[in-house]
Amino acid sequence: MATKVLMPQLGESVTEGTISRWLVSPGDTVKKYDPLCEVSTDKVNAEVPSSVSGTITEIVVPEGETVAVGALICYIEAENGQTGMEQPDGAAPARQSSPDKSEESAETQRPAARDKAKSVDRSGKARYSPAVLALAEKHNIDLNQVEGTGRGGRITRKDVLRFVEQGDGAAPRQTATTTAPTALRERTQPVSVEQGTEVGETQQIGEITVNPGDKVIPVSSVRRTIASRMVQSKHEAPHAWTMVEADVTRLVQYRNKIKDDFERNEGLKLTFLPFFIKAVVESLKEYPILNSVWAEDQIVIRKDINISIAVATEEALYVPVIKNADRLSILGIARAIDDLARKTRENRLTLDDMQGGTFTVNNTGSFGSIQSMPIINHPQAAIMSVEAITRKPVVIDDMIAIRDRVNLCLSLDHRILDGLVCGRFLQSVKQKVENMDANMTIY
């Protein structure tokens, strides 16, 4: 019987997804859990696996098209009387990793069918599952040297293990700053201005007149969704802003003193951001109303303190989440930031990495900003930006002194929060960072 495959729910508040690539064609035979297509949203790129074994009979949505959650994307003729689940919540879940089960199913196809797939399409070799990437990194293997035996030449976990056993030219060991494999880096490169289509004659796009020589760049699904959510945040949440300036001279001196030993012992750089996040989570315990959301005619105060952090790539801005940040030491927060930043830039974020944020800390100071008015990360109640630390002359006891100063900028949802509680919250954060020095512990 024909089974409908629907666009799955790819995360909280996600309402649509874009078919970025089909991995199958009509007439192809698939096993249950075999990947059917790649779907991209503003939160994550995911593979949609088959919920049944059978034959692809029709692809309804072409590559590059964006459809709503629950929309029909293809049909599968199920074998042996199987009944596929035809709704997003019931279908096999979309995944960011490729479980061994799916990889093994691709390997255990009938030899003739596998050979046919390999002869038709070798594009799968450039697509690596997280399991394959992890093995390649562990054994320092250049995946371009590995022969794939999966569908379309896809490199599977068994292929990598076989390569290791045969000792076929492992790549030289690299340092902890190893980047993603070449194919992955190429896949995540953004569209540049040079890749835009130059207009030869005057055109009208909506209310905009496009003149000859102008370039038009298609908006990616990520950028389109970011735009939609920013507009939603500005329209639904009445934004207000406030700012305090903190003296972080002692923090700067302490961090500069221990950063080299920290990097040598822990294997990662100690930035200022973990200190500010630590101060924020401690202040959220004192003022939990800032750790809340607006729910129609009610306010929901979250029990967990999960800090969203903004991580910028050349293509877009992503906001992964540090779960239970209030339970972590500064070292723990630093490790979480490093892990999420690396996964973002290597295009390895999972749905879980992106979900559950209750308050956002934005490190705009990393690119030199000294004051900003960030847009609230909907549906959270507030977002705080940590600006650049600058040295300034200030008056202390009627004398001029040079001190390290930083602006802490807070955007708030005025439906939930007022200036009084936000002012007290910022003063609490300020007091905490001003008292960070050699008397504290980072462990």
100, 115, 304, 414: the catalytic one is 414
- Determine the 3-state secondary structure of 121 from DSSP: coil
pTM here is 0.64
Q: Would you give the DSSP letter of residue 199?
A: P
Reply yes or no on whether 414 is catalytic: yes
Residue 377: CA count within 13 A, CB half-sphere: 27
Domains and CATH numbers, the chain: 1-95 (2.40.50.100), 97-184 (no CATH), 223-434 (3.30.559.10)
pLDDT by residue for the chain (443 residues), tens digit each? 689 999 988 766 677 888 888 999 999 999 888 889 988 876 667 888 898 999 999 999 998 888 888 999 999 998 876 655 444 444 444 544 433 434 444 344 434 434 443 443 434 445 565 556 666 766 777 777 788 776 567 777 677 777 877 765 444 333 333 333 222 223 333 444 555 788 888 988 888 898 998 988 887 766 777 788 888 899 899 999 999 999 999 999 999 999 999 999 999 999 999 999 999 999 999 999 999 999 988 999 999 999 999 888 776 778 999 999 999 999 999 999 999 999 988 888 888 898 899 999 999 999 899 999 999 999 999 999 999 999 999 999 999 999 999 999 999 999 999 999 999 999 999 999 999 999 999 99
User: What's CA 165's distance to the chain center, in Å?
Assistant: 34
Q: Where are the alpha helices (DSSP H) in 237-364?
A: 249-266, 273-286, 330-345, 351-354
Clarify whether 378 is annotated catalytic. no
The answer to whether 136 touches 143, Cβ cutoff 8 Å, is: yes
Name every residue whose Cβ is closer than 8 Å to that of residue 312 and which is 6 or more positions away in sequence: 318
139, burial (CB in 10 Å: exposed 0-12, middle 13-18, buried 19+): middle
3-state DSSP assignment of residue 360: strand
